[in-house]
Chains A and B, each alone.
Chain A
Amino acid sequence: MPEADSTLEDELVRLMDQHERPIYNFLLALLRDTDVALDCAQDTFLRAYENLRKGKPVNGQWLFKVARNRAMDEFRRRRRVQPELDKLEQIAVHESTDRVMAVRSVMERLSTVDREVLYLFDIAGFKTDEIGAMLGIRGSAVRQRLSRARERFRFLYGTEP
């Protein structure tokens, strides 16, 4: 293998060490399908390698953006219907002994828009302006979405978790 390709592979391995787990979980949170999430994560890192070969920089924000776009492609392909808030029911969180299960259940009941903005802000740790750059919208729109997502999470989870 040429030395240049070896350097690129090392760079890709470094990216995967740092972002493989968050990217996979982000895709899993959006798609809720392990196989599809695996395929999308694989495509994301292969595209990252192509970008590295072209001499373009790749960072975590770029990886999340590509992963998110790939997930949206899957959504369009499967035409999955997004759940609506009025059709959702509150979860009996107080009777659940496992809060993690309850939080996962709430996240699954949220819409994809709410889910991705909550994941990117609270779990991935991006700022709202960075999320706006990923999603192709303004930071103020992200802040609006984040506020709505918090209220929906609050409604579904209950006011006294």
Chain B
Amino acid sequence: MSRHEHFTHMLARRAELSPQEELDLQQHLRDCAECHQTAEVYARQAALLRALPLAEPPPTLRAKVLSTIQQPPRQVKNTRLVTQAFGGVSGRPFLLLAPLAAAVLIVGVAFALLNRPHHTNNTAIAPTAPHVRTTAPTATPTPQPSIAPKPSPTPAPSRKKRVHPPSPASAPSAGQGAPVPTPWPGVNAPILSQALPTPTSRVQPASPRPARRSSARTPVHVTAPRPTPIPIPTSQPTSTPVPASLPPGVHPIALGGTLPPGRILPPSPEPPTVPAAPVRGAPITATPAPASPPPPPSPVAAPASPVTTPTPIP
């Protein structure tokens, strides 16, 4: 604030200046013509405002105030009326309703979760639905280690988990007369599906789900074809010949093969190569299925699976 502005502010509140401030101001006014003119204008303003005649308040003002204070105080307020209606608990009456409302809310949410709408078009899928709610666009039946399901010690599917243990008892073979291999030796998939309750609410429907609103951003949800189920051997794993050339980093046992006699198993430096996940927004191309039947799930992908027995390493 400059010296000139300082004195302008002093002129605006000249009525409350101290004697010393008034002396300083008068000394400045003798030298500054602009401030002198401002002082005259402000003094005229204050005189005009002080000269404004005040309106007379209506006599009803005092009468209303005095009549109001002479009334007896109200015995019960509106909130207390409500309180008495709820049992006379002092304080906030609606706090009584809070636990009841919370209980109703909890029961309602639990009821809604337990009675979610069922999808009936997936009856062909065994209770141990083999597929994951996958986002992989590939149609190859080869197991994908990136989304390899965690093997569960119990074959019964969990209602809470979206990822179910792989099971070969899936739709195409369920309707056939031939016995369908299951993770449990001697158990047939159709029989199993009849014996066990089907958690249809958590099972992915066989048909592709209708496109969501966000399908433009994540098209992999609707375009992924259903992979062909892989029959898993019931008792003993079949050994497939190890190809002559393996991609680097892929262990031969990971492909389900066996080592030739006398061959020393090299240490596996890293887990099997994971196929690259599809880039969001990239065009989705289905990987052509191999001509030969796919190898069974490797013990590396599902080491604790109750079905496959790990290949003994010499």
Contact = CB atoms under 8 A, between A and B. Distances in A.
Partners in one complex: yes
Interface string B56-84: 11101110111011100000000000000
Interface of A: 1, 8-9, 12-13, 16, 20-22, 24-25, 28, 34, 38, 41-42, 45-46, 49, 99-100, 103-104, 107, 118-119, 121-123, 127-128, 143-144, 146-147, 150, 153-154, 157, 159, 161
A41 B12 contact: no
Contact of B65 (A28, A45, A119, A121): A45
Contacts of B50: 122-123
A20 B66 CA distance: 13
B68 A20 contact: no
A144 B57 contact: no
A20 B41 contact: no
B61 A42 contact: yes
B49 interface: yes
B12 A146 contact: yes
A24 B48 contact: no
Provide the main secondary structure of the chain A interface: helix
Nearest to B54: A25
A140 B195 CA distance: 85
Contact of B55 (A12, A24, A99): A24
Contacts of B60: 38
A156 B263 CA distance: 104
Contacts of A34: 58
B45 A150 contact: yes
Given A22-B54, A147-B9, A154 B69 contact: no
B55 A25 contact: yes
A128 B52 CA distance: 21
Given A12-B66, A104-B52, A127-B16, 7 more contacts: A12-B65, A12-B69, A16-B65, A20-B61, A42-B68, A123-B49, A154-B41
Contacts of A20: 57, 61-62
Interface in B1-41: 8-9, 12-13, 15-16, 41
